Amino acid sequence: MASMVGRAGALLFSAVFAIGFGLGGYWAGLRPLAQTLQAAWQARSWVAMPAQVLQADLRQRRGSEGGITYELQARYLYEFGGARYEGTQVGLDAQGGADNLGDWQQQWHQRLQEAQSHNQAITVWVDPARPSRALIDPHIRWPLLMVRLPFAFVFTGVGLAAAWVFVWVLLGCGGAAVAQQPQEGGAAQGPSLDTGARSSLQGTAARAWFFALFWCGIAFPMAGALWSDRGASGWAKAFMGVFVGVGLMLLCLAAGQTRKVWRYRGSAFTALPHRPQAGRAVAVTLRLPGRAAGQDGAQALRLRLAQYRVDESSSGSPERLVEVVAASTSLQPTPDGGLHLSARFELPEDAPTHGAQRSGERVDWRVELQRPGGTLELSYDLQVQADASALVASTPDRFDRRVAWEQAVPVALPDNTRVESDHSTALWPQGVRVHETTGAWQLHFSQTGWRWAAGVALVLLGLEWVLQGRVGMQGLVLPRSPGGLGVMVVLVAFALHAGTRRWTLCVHDDGVRVQRRSWWWSSVQSVPGEASQALVHKLLYSTGSGSSEQRYHAVYARHARGGLARLTPGLRGANAADTVGRAIAQAWQDRRGRFAPGAQRHTTSDHARPAWGWLLVAALMAAALWAPQGALELGGPRMGAAPARVWAPADAQLLDAQNAGDAAALERALRAGANPNLLADNGSSVLMLASHRGQMAHVELLLQAGATPDLRQTQKDSERGDTALLRAFYGGHLAVAQRLVQAGASLQVRNRWDWGPVHMAAQSGCVPCLQWLAEQGQPLDEPAPASRGETPAMLAAVKGRVAVLQWMQARGVDLAWRDRQGRNAQDWAQRSGQADAERWLAEHLGPQR
């Protein structure tokens, strides 16, 4: 019955994976991947034809997690063979779709809008066999292709593997009879014939390659898509590089494991008897092939018998080595060039059954092949059977880890030999420092773990400041939301507490006092001096698992109320706790002979209370809340000054009209009372959105309705602080920018990075914009001190605007100017992968480089 249930569960599990991953990999990966590659191959023979843009809209879609995707929708008219056709396909994907990979959607939207506004023709590629089929961009979008690769190969591969398991189980290949679980105190039922021992290496290479390829199949395409995105931040690319590095290490580990499996393939293991009994001997032999016998150090290989305990209730089933049965190993060469190893082990009387449950853990007996340094090569399970006698079965488990957590071990009292207070620090456990004064004998315990925790908190805080752009030359930008401010305060408070925490134990003539203090909290606890003569130590916590587990013990004393009071932090190992406990007892024996009258003692009452660090945090909070505007921020209003968002029905209609590019609907929304200064979810006002897209009709309607031309984008801390005028120049729309200046927009505006109109126009590649700005007296080589000191020429090089660089050179702009890091425009072009701009600058900078 159990076998049938297990088989049905395996069938259901594999069927779900086969259907879910198989269909998902096909529809989201293989199918669109094949269609894209097929379309790219067919488009090689298509004919280029001029076309007129009829419509170009960029629709935004907000996901459930707040992310925004873009979908370009276009219509264009072209002629072929004397007939007129209307096309809608932009890229190789016939169905199109929304995404946020790079700026392909935005770039083509800008090009099509410019062509439509200037009544210029664009080039489309027409299928001569089917003239009704045409597209604008015949090139493969490699970031999108890379994102589809994991779905195409990894997900589909998992689905095929699950389908193979389903068929394998369905045909009965996996329906072998399930052996009964051996019970403690008795031998398992069934024959004792050796049916062939399984090596621990069996299947490890396949699993290693599967996991490595699964990881790399996802990480490598995602990294390629992100690294090819010029708009992605360096932090994001570096973070993705970590996943690529892990993938390379997994591939190396898989290759190494494959080599190891190949080396020991053909090894044969036998045990006599096959099911040895506890308290008796077992003879084991291991025959290695010539490949393993010929490796370096083969003559130093040794066999050992080990007992492990596996916690199957924990994630990953951590195991721990609890017992090793040693025996000498004899090695003999075989006629075929192999090696024959044999050993005879004496099993303990209380040896539990292999596979049985003892103290909440599974018992594993393994014969292991090891190198001299302890490196494990491979292992075989040994079917040990426990003694069935009642006396042995009732014996307590020597390796029950739960006993250690509850056991309080008395500290042995010191003998008559006096412990000097100035002995070498080598006698003390690591992290313990002794100091004696006329008033007390003191132990200072290092707080290394707390210092590391403080460092992690400061690193997290620093990363948040850098990634959110909070730190600049003019101050610090504080979070606007209460939650963000609360997280910052908690991190600062924790770093303050962990970085200044101290643990001191003092033995005075009136007792033992434990002081745990930091700038954030102070705690003092006292115990009677005589309590030091009956100390105990207990297991406090442990790190690691299995054979690498490290236990930490703390010393305790009885306080006046009878309970246990902890005197020390966790000390590495029971011996360290015992050493410190004996030293405390000896110190009290020494100190109580130096009794001082009560009036001359320095007494400290027991307490647990906040320390003066609270005042520092309170002062920072007060400074954040009541500081003058701009005192703690860089280029923006203080917390609480952000304009309120009102999502009235008219406001919603206004945003929908702006996103759809419908000027008539936008006018109706304004007449219905919509706010002309309404901010979208991305922090931009409707006027900024319209200016960026060059929608003159929208801009005119918004200005007439009272939109503020110089309203800044400062709803979020991470925004640049742009205005509509900066957005217009960033989009390369001179007419819109001139209209904004006519409405009162200032040409002296700069965002948080100190980018002005010239910086924005240089990035857009709009030479007429630069010409007009030069006529208005705007400097063409102004650096941005709030950022990295970049000039407009450097930003033009980043975007590959060779025409702008040529125009600037003709105007006498110094293209060899260097920023604070010593990089000029050519360096900026090189770092951003703009080969044409880099080549042009290399030819024209010459010796100035």
Provide the mean pLDDT of the chain: 82
- Is residue 66's pLDDT more than 60? no
- Could you tell me the pLDDT band of residue 195, with boundaries at 50, 70 and 90? very low
User: Given phi > 0 = left and psi -120 to 50 = alpha, else beta, which region is 303?
Assistant: beta
Longest dimension (CA), the chain: 116
pLDDT greater than 90 at residue 136? yes
Asked if 89 and 139 touch (Cβ cutoff 8 Å), the reply is: no
CB 220 within 8 A of CB 247: yes
**Per-residue model confidence as pLDDT tens digits over 715-746:** 555 567 889 999 999 999 999 999 999 998 98
**How would residue 229 be classed by pLDDT, with cut points 50, 70 and 90?**
low
* Mean pLDDT score, 176-193: 39
Write the pLDDT tens digit of every residue in 317-361.
788 888 999 899 999 999 999 999 999 999 999 899 999 998 888
Can you give the pLDDT at residue 324? 93
499 phi, psi to nearest 5 deg:
-75, -20
pLDDT band at 649 (very low <50, low <70, confident <90, very high): confident
Distance CA 622, CA 617 (A): 9
* Calpha distance 530→540 (Å, rounded): 24
Q: Is the pLDDT of residue 69 over 50?
A: yes
pLDDT of residue 794: 93
The average pLDDT across 572-587 equals 90
Domains of the chain: 266-395 (2.60.40.10), 425-609 (no CATH), 649-848 (1.25.40.20)
Angle between helices 234-264 and 204-227 (to 10 degrees): 160
Residue whose C-alpha is closest to residue 842's, from 830, 832, 831? 830
Mean pLDDT of 285-314: 90
Give first-to-last CA distance, the chain, whole Å: 81
Over residues 583-604, mean pLDDT: 71
Which of the four pLDDT bands, split at 50, 70 and 90, describes residue 62?
low
* DSSP structure string for 501-541: -EEEEEEETTEEEEEEE-SSEEEEEEE-GGGGGG-EEEEEE
Q: How confident is the model at residue 109 (pLDDT cuts 50, 70, 90)?
A: confident
pLDDT at 693: 92
Name residue, tokens 């931040």: 233
Q: For the segment 20-30, what is each residue's pLDDT rounded down to a tens digit?
A: 878 887 887 78
pLDDT band at 845 (very low <50, low <70, confident <90, very high): confident
pLDDT of residue 243: 85
Q: Is residue 276 over pLDDT 60? A: yes
pLDDT at 52 over 90: yes
Torsion (CA) 117, 120, 125, 130 in degrees, nearest 10:
80
Reported confidence tier of residue 594, pLDDT bands at 50, 70, 90: low
Write down the pLDDT at residue 714: 66
User: For 231-360, where are the E strands, in sequence order?
Assistant: 268-272, 281-288, 302-310, 319-325, 330-333, 339-346, 357-358
Q: How confident is the model at residue 493 (pLDDT cuts 50, 70, 90)?
A: confident
What length is written for the chain? 849
Residue that the structure tokens 């596996």 belong to: 310
DSSP tag of 479 = P
Res. 636 pLDDT band, cuts 50 70 90: very low
Residue 12 has pLDDT above 70, yes or no: yes
Please say if the pLDDT value at position 125 is more than 90: yes
pLDDT digits (tens, 9 = 90+) for 379-433: 999 999 998 775 555 678 888 877 777 788 899 877 654 444 444 444 788 889 9
Residue 781 CA to residue 797 CA, distance in Å, equals 13
pTM tops 0.75, yes or no = no
pLDDT at 366: 95
Give Cβ neighbours of residue 794 (< 8 Å, ≥ 6 apart): 817, 819, 823, 824, 825, 828
Query: Is residue 772 scored above 50 in pLDDT?
Result: yes
Res 126: pLDDT? 94
Asked whether 687 and 707 are in contact (CB, 8 A), the reply is: yes
Tell how far CA 50 is from the center of its chain. 48
Q: What is the DSSP string of 638-676?
A: -TT-SPPP---HHHHHHHHHHHHT-HHHHHHHHHTT--T
Which residues 6+ apart lie within 8 Å of 375 measured at CB? none
Nearest to 679 by CA among 657, 701, 646: 646
Which band of pLDDT confidence, cut at 50, 70 and 90, is reported for residue 67? low
Query: Can you tell me the mean pLDDT for 454-462?
Result: 89
Contacts of 405 (CB under 8 A, 6+ apart): 538, 539
pLDDT score of 465: 77
Q: Are 676 and 706 in contact (CB under 8 A)?
A: yes
pLDDT at site 173: 58
pLDDT of the residue at 638: 37
- How large is the angle between the packed helices 156-170 and 2-25, nearest 10 degrees? 150
